[in-house]
Amino acid sequence: MEKVRVRFAPSPTGYLHVGNARTALFNWLFARQKGGRFVLRVEDTDVERSGEEYEKKLKSSLKWLGLEWDEGPEIGGKKGPYRQSQRLPHYKSHTQKLLEEGKAYYCFCSPQKLEEERKKALAQGKMPLYSGRCRSIPLEEARKRLEVGEKAGVRLRTSDRGNVSFQDIIRGSLDFDLRYIGDPILVRSNGLPAYNYAVVIDDGLMEISHVIRGEDHISNTARQILVYKALSWVPPRFAHLSMVMGKDNTRLSKRHGATSVEQFQKKGILSSSLFNYLALLGWAPPEGKEVLNKEGLIKLFNLERVSRSAAIFDYDKLYWINREHMKKLSSSEKAQKAYAYLKETGYFPSPMSEAHWSWLERAVETQLEGVNSFSELPPQFSIFFDFDPSRMSPEAREIVHSESARKVIRSFWEKISQSSTFDYQSFVGMTQEIKKETGCKGKHLYHPLRVALTSRASGLELDQFIPLVEEASRMNFKKPVKSCYQRVAEMLQHLESLSSQND
């Protein structure tokens, strides 16, 4: 069986964009499925734009997503080094070989000259191709010019006739007319390799079997195949993934919302959810079951079934997948993840006791329905910790405004203040008595009771809320939780002070 070796080759010039993360993920899935190797290669020859900081961030995002690599910078491997800036001798030796064989030539045209020619061609409505002016300079003569200090790049000698074609795993046969390709630059006059050259030397020497990357590289692939031919190397197989777009069909960018893996991580999206969602960008599992873990995805993924059409990044679908993945966690995992965001609220003690964790586990379960990610939990928790009748929403105020609502709450207070214990059971009993006493029923009874206990018009069901609040009020939280009795008393006091102001 063919040995599968794939690579992800980011340029460390920014954060890991979800489009690139999806490329990395498809490579990773393919490698894991085929028992192959996943190589990380850092393409840092663009010295001005590359940064160590970015490389670090890229790696930490890949790790967070669970895309561990088998070979790469730091961990090494048999085909290293894995950073292009450390591979210059490889590029150099192959350049010399191509020059000696006449397959490449030195080009002395200055960047200004080339730019002039490019502009002229464009103005005439022609393709801006290199004129071939330096093609016929003999190697000996070129070397002499270099010795006396002239600067030159190196170009691949191509033919003006014929075509170059390849079989793309996703797109089928692709064919390019050589008339539109020109002589690609291999090495720039500053001695650094151009992308289309370095990538071939690296993919070739690293024995990459499949190149899976974005379709923005399709025309580069044609040029790269010419380099493989010149080196008499067999090219790898290619698969070009469609672009990741926003809903408006333009390339996914900041305008659409979060675009980097790090941003989603900060938003509290689980790595398993982003992993799952990215796998669905351009690929669909055969039986339509979309919520999958890593193992399931490795099993089902099929590179040949990846779609050619643009993949639309749907934030709502990602949130749906995240909610599904959140549900699958154990209660203690949920509490741990929630705590990572809740600890900023100042509600919880540090360290948390076992009782606090146990309370949090149950409280988190009641709040998950209403959120897309754990990071959205802190405001939800204010229902337990921030009872304040003087800061009610207009909706809640409206509910308790009437005389009948005040009657309900007063009656509730009388019952709760006379009872030595209070739980949901006793609450149900009390509501029956309040109903009899005040003649209020339905929403005229239940809405004021809810506001009296929560200072809100909506939220958690009271059968979940009451036991959690009663328990919490007896515990030692950093911000004390008011008991139901305290809440009703404060609410009544607030309403009575309002009505005395109005008198």
Catalytic annotation, residues: 254
Q: Which is nearer to ligand GLU, 43 or 71 (CB)?
A: 43
Kindly state the smallest distance separating residue 316's Cβ from ligand GLU, in Å. Answer: 29
Q: Are 261 and 244 in contact (CB under 8 A)?
A: no
One-letter amino acid at 253 equals: S
Tokens of 214: 């974005």
Whether 277 and 318 have beta carbons less than 8 Å apart is answered as yes
Up-side HSE of residue 414: CA atoms within 13 Å toward CB?
11
Q: Which is nearer to ligand GLU, 242 or 367 (CB)?
A: 242
Helix axes 484-502, 462-473, angle to 10 degrees: 100
Dist CA 364 CA 366 (whole Å): 5
Phi and psi based region of residue 149 (left: phi greater than 0; alpha: psi -120 to 50; beta: remaining) = left
Name the residue nearer to ligand GLU (CB basis): 26 or 319: 26
Q: Would you tell me how many other CB atoms lie within 10 Å of the CB of residue 96?
A: 12
- Closest distance between ligand GLU and the C-beta of residue 357, in Å? 44
Tell me the three state secondary structure of residue 270.
Answer: coil
Q: Give the footprint of ligand GLU on this chain (CB under 6 A).
A: 9-11, 43, 199, 213, 217
Select 217 or 415, whichever has its Cβ closest to ligand GLU: 217
Helix (H), strand (E), coil (C) string for 26-45? HHHHHHHHHCCEEEECECCC
Distance separating alpha carbons of residues 286 and 246, to the nearest angstrom: 25
Of the candidates 404, 481, 484, 498, the one whose C-alpha atom is nearest the C-alpha of residue 448 is 404
Residue 38 to residues 77, 238, 252, 261, 361: CA-CA distances in angstroms? 11, 15, 26, 19, 38
Dig out the tokens for 126 from the structure. Answer: 């022609």
Distances (CA, A) of 63 to 21, 124, 260, 421: 11, 50, 14, 51
Question: Which residue's CB is nearer to ligand GLU, number 9 or number 342?
Answer: 9
CB of 213 to ligand GLU, least distance (A): 4
Closest distance of CB 47 from ligand GLU, Å: 14
Report the amino acid identity of residue 266: K
Q: How far is the CB of 342 from ligand GLU (least distance, A)?
A: 38
Q: How far is the CB of 40 from ligand GLU (least distance, A)?
A: 12
Task: Say what angle helices 443-454 and 462-473 make with each other, to 10 degrees.
Answer: 30
* Residue nearer to ligand GLU on the CB measure, 199 or 311: 199
For residue 72, the 8-state DSSP code is B
Cβ closer to ligand GLU: 4 or 142? 4
Q: Based on CB atoms, which residue is closest to ligand GLU, 9 or 278? A: 9
Indicate the residue among 53 and 354 with the shorter CB distance to ligand GLU. Answer: 53
Q: What are the beta bridge partners of residue 7?
A: 39
Residue type, 381: F
* DSSP annotation of 479: S
Least distance in Å: CB of 204 to ligand GLU?
Answer: 13
Q: How many helices (H) and strands (E) does the chain have?
A: 20, 11
Tokens of 166: 């390849």
* Cα→Cα distances 251→78, 254, 311, 314, 387, Å: 37, 10, 10, 13, 45
Task: Give dist(CA 346, CA 348) in Å, integer.
Answer: 6
- 8 Å CB contact between 109 and 219: no
CB of 209 to ligand GLU, least distance (A): 14
| Residue 383 tokens, joined | 């229902």
Minimum CB separation of residue 202 from ligand GLU in Å reads: 9
